[in-house]
Structure formats: structure tokens, C-alpha cells
Amino acid sequence: MARVLITGGAGFIGSHLCERFLKEGDEVICMDNFITGSPDNIAHLFTNKNFSFIPQDVTTFIYVKGPVDAILHFASPASPVDYLELPIQTLKVGSLGTHKALGLAKEKGARLLLASTSEVYGDPLVHPQKEDYWGNVNPIGPRGVYDEAKRFAEAMTMAYHRAHGVQVRIVRIFNTYGPRMRLRDGRVVPNFIAQALRGEDLTVYGDGGQTRSFCFVSDLVEGLVRLLRSDHTGPVNIGNPRELTILEFAQAIIQLTGSKSKITFNPLPVDDPKQRQPDISLARRVLNNWEPQVSLEAGLRQTIAYFQDKVA
């Protein structure tokens, strides 16, 4: 049994991680300040004696009593709409928050897994994206607050590894979806599903020719657990390589919800990446043949069922 700290544990991915470690009999300390996370995501976990919650902004000094074996640093706004609304908090959690989490890892002798992102590749000039690509990021654009915070977080994580010998793992997470995404987080999955369920037009930004590759949350969590336990420092891409245009994605949502919604075209956000697809050959190799198992159709059905309640 291990004692695991999950920052951002009340968020979309964080709450699935809490559940996974509790299921394996580990002790989970969840830390969140509910800026974008939600108490609803973890309400069902409080009856588990191995679960505890610390309300905390991780950009300030983190104190945890007793031993800690692993820290999964997942605290951050992650939707473009959120980080445009919270630019300074986003920069602070990626920089100061990562520094605090690494300081705690050093103090406790814990292994730290950093949640990084495909956004470190920016609007990529290499396709699909491999871990050795250095990226194409606009540091002063509106998305820069997230992209640069995560790039700094990677640099800080590697510095603690090299200078202090802290055991670290870095994952670059590509677009992930599933139950517990926030209905109003502004990302394409909740937007399109909510619009389709309400019979409203689906708002495709730009001409919809930009691509994304969507990974179901259970596939991501399996990859994260394997990475934490592997001896590979990373960074490692984890995502589903099935690539779709946003227009194709809109059509898939309309079809799976059986909606009569139409599609409208809105302006493309500044610096919106034109294409994104993970090269997952490294993950396959170092994570024991890890592969996404959940098809887009199966994952979307579960996600649509989750949002049906929320929309109602």
C-alpha cells in the first residue's frame, strides 16, 4: 500500500486518479482549491477510510503530515476558456505550484508525476507529435499562459531530478474526455454534447478543418499508473492517435446523440493549433504495450450519458 498525494484531485482527471488508487487499496490525499475542480467529483469518496481531502492552493507552501510515496501533480486550469479567464493563476500553478510539489517530493523522498500537455508542442510544425519535438509556442499569445507554464513545469521537474535526484515522471497528455468534465468548461467535448442534447447549433470554430485526437479518460488513467510505476522519466505522450477534424467530431456527436442540431461556424480562437495527433510509439514501448482500449463511439456514449443528467 502506498500513500499518494493528488493535486487537482477534485478535477476531471484528478478525481478519476483518486478513484483508481483507492481501488488498488492505496491511501489517497486529495488536494484542490476548487477553482476549476468540483466537490461533486469527490463527494462519493469521503466514505472511504483511505481518502482524505486538504483544501489548498498549491502555489502556497504545501504541508502534508506523515510519509508520502508518490505525488501526482494535476492541479491546473486545463480548458482554453478557463486559462484565458485565469491567466495568472494558470501561470502560478504551473510554476510556483510545480515548485512546491517538487519541494514536497524532495522532502518526503516521493516520486513525482507531472501532468504536462500536448500544448507544449504549441501549433505544431511536426505531425504527428513525438516527444523529441521542441514545439512551436507563442509565448506572448493568450494560450502562452498555459503552454509556457507547462514548459516551465517540465524544466523545473527535470532540474529537481538532475540537481536533487528526485524521482520524476513527465506525461504529455493529449485531449482527454469523459464523465466529470465540467459542462461549462468551454472545451469542445462538453460544448458540442450540451448543444446537441439541447437541440442548439453546434459551434464549430473556424472552418472545422483543424484536428484533434480524443482519448477516453480510463485509457489515460491506465497509462498514467503504468508511467508512475515504470522506470522511464519521460516525457511520454499519452493520448489516442485516432485523429478527426473538428467538423467530423461535430457530426459524430450529432449522430450519437440522435440530435436535430445543425452546425454554425464561429471565429477561430487566436493560436488555435491546426493539427494534433500523438505519436504513442514510446508509450507502447516503455509502458508494457499500453494502448487505448476504448473506441471513440463507446467513450462518447458514456460521456453523453453523463452530460444528459447535467443538462437535465
Dihedral sign from CA coordinates of 229, 231, 235, 237 = negative
- Contact in structure between 21 and 74 (CB atoms under 8 Å): no
210 lies in the binding site for ligand UDP (CB under 6 A): yes
In terms of residues, how long is the chain?
312
Q: Interaction with ligand UDP in 13-72: which residues (CB under 6 A)?
A: none
Is 175 among the residues that bind ligand UDP (CB under 6 A)?
Answer: yes
From residue 244 to residue 263, the character string flagging contacts with ligand UDP as x (rule: CB under 6 A) and all else as - is: --x-----------------
Q: Which of 83, 121, 146, 160 is catalytic?
A: 146
Spatial distance between the Cα atoms of 89 and 72, rounded to a whole number of angstroms = 19
Q: Does 188 sit near ligand UDP (CB under 6 A)?
A: yes
Helix (H, G, I), strand (E, B) or coil at 88: helix
Q: How far is the CB of 190 from ligand UDP (least distance, A)?
A: 8
Is residue 138 at the binding interface for ligand UDP, with CB under 6 A as the rule?
no
- Looking at the Cβ atoms of 192 and 290, the one nearer to ligand UDP is 192
Out of 15, 89, 191, 275, the residue judged to bind ligand UDP by CB under 6 A: 191
Nearest approach, Cβ of 242 to ligand UDP (angstroms)?
15
CA distances from 62 to 20, 31, 58, 102 (A): 23, 10, 6, 10
Tell which phi-psi region holds residue 305, choosing left (phi > 0), alpha (psi between -120 and 50) or beta. Answer: alpha
Contacts with 49 (C-beta within 8 Å, 6 or more apart), sequence order = none
63 part of the active site: no
Q: Which residues bind ligand UDP (CB under 6 A)?
A: 79-80, 175, 187-188, 191, 203-205, 210, 212, 246, 268-269, 272
